[in-house]
Amino acid sequence: MSYSPDLLKGQKALVTGSSSGIGEAVARHLAQAGASVVINYHSEKDEAENIVSAITSDGGEAIAIGANVAQEDEVKAMFEQMFQHFGTIDILVNNAGIQKDAAFVDMTLDQWNLVLSINLTGQFLCAREAAKEFLRRGVKPDVSCAAGKIICISSVHEVIPWAGHVNYASSKGGIDMFMKSIAQELAPQKIRVNSIAPGAIKTSINTAAWSTPEAEAQLLKLIPYHRVGIPDDIGKAAVWLASDDSDYVHGATLFVDGGMTLYPGFAHGG
């Protein structure tokens, strides 16, 4: 995918959990569109540095910063390091997330707390720091129509219940209301807030669901468009939501799911 390098020229972006999968694709696409990007990682430092090298080799600008988004002190330190290097932030993509699956009655409090702390509290901590900087700096018309953009990576499971994944689905449902609430609050200050809700995307977190022909055939029964998504599908959507081309889009969830939220089981009969 090629973009005009002027699309996000001069903008500084932070993508949490971007050392692999969807986050990596989002970071690469933002860089291709001209943004300078922070590759945030938790434990995959080498992978993050490799992404930085790939972006800079392609003429872009990127740095890697390690931080656990569930830890307030680490989040604040990450933003300080970003500001020291890039001066500010224009785009935050709240992508970091994990799964710790279990049957509901077997789920431990640690499994519940870990998923909620990273998937939901992590988005709160990062969005709060970004919003503070957006408010401090205000709109720079030569950079963007908005004072800043926050993109929350959610999931189709913010609306589709998911037995056996109660902590994950609850965290994504929480992201939906979190996004809408801060969108309502921050709109008068020209801060745009939206979500992307991926459906089935081929990443390491769900390899078992698509890695064999048999598994993929079962998965495709849930996708009317009859294609499993790839991380680039989300990267392209993120560039659009981060750009002024979507300036009037606010408080919205963009489902990138091949129609999974159309409940395909009802296509015949029902």
pLDDT bracket for residue 270 (50, 70, 90): low
The angle at the Cα of 58, spanning 57 to 64, to the nearest 5 degrees, equals 60
Two tokens at 9? Answer: 């020229």
Question: What whole-number distance in Å separates Cα of residue 146 and Cα of residue 80?
Answer: 22
Which residue among the candidates 41, 168, 225, 263 is catalytic per the annotation?
168
CATH of 12-258, one of 1.10.10.10, 3.40.920.10, 3.40.50.720, 3.40.1360.10: 3.40.50.720
Give tens-digit pLDDT for 173-226.
Answer: 999 999 999 999 999 999 999 999 999 999 877 777 777 888 999 999 999 999
Question: Average pLDDT, stretch 70-86?
Answer: 98
* Whole-number pLDDT of residue 39: 98
* Whole-number pLDDT of residue 3: 81
Domain ranges of the chain: 12-258
Q: Are 192 and 150 in contact (CB under 8 A)?
A: yes
Placement of tokens 């963007």 in the chain:
144
Q: Does residue 113 have a pLDDT over 70? A: yes
Question: Average pLDDT, stretch 154-163?
Answer: 97
DSSP assignment, residue 118?
I
- Rg, the chain, Cα only: 18
Question: Average pLDDT, stretch 4-19?
Answer: 95
Residue type, position 220, single letter = L
Q: Using alpha carbons, select from 153, 187, 186, 183 the residue that is nearest to residue 171.
A: 153
Question: Average pLDDT, stretch 16-36?
Answer: 97
Identify whether 168 is a catalytic site residue. yes
Q: Are 10 and 27 in contact (CB under 8 A)?
A: no
* Whole-number pLDDT of residue 87: 98
Question: What whole-number distance in Å separates Cα of residue 217 and Cα of residue 238?
Answer: 28
pLDDT bracket for residue 54 (50, 70, 90): very high
Question: Average pLDDT, stretch 32-45?
Answer: 97
Q: Are 31 and 143 in contact (CB under 8 A)?
A: no
DSSP assignment, residue 222?
T
List Cβ neighbours of 237 (8 Å cut-off, separation of 6 or more): 196, 254, 256
Give tens-digit pLDDT for 88-112.
Answer: 999 999 999 999 999 999 999 999 9
The neighbour count for residue 130, using CB atoms within 10 Å, is 24
Question: Average pLDDT, stretch 217-237?
Answer: 96
pLDDT bracket for residue 5 (50, 70, 90): confident
Report CA-CA distances (Å) from 182 to 6, 131, 228, 252.
29, 10, 31, 12
Q: Are 34 and 6 in contact (CB under 8 A)?
A: yes
Q: Does residue 166 have a pLDDT over 70? A: yes
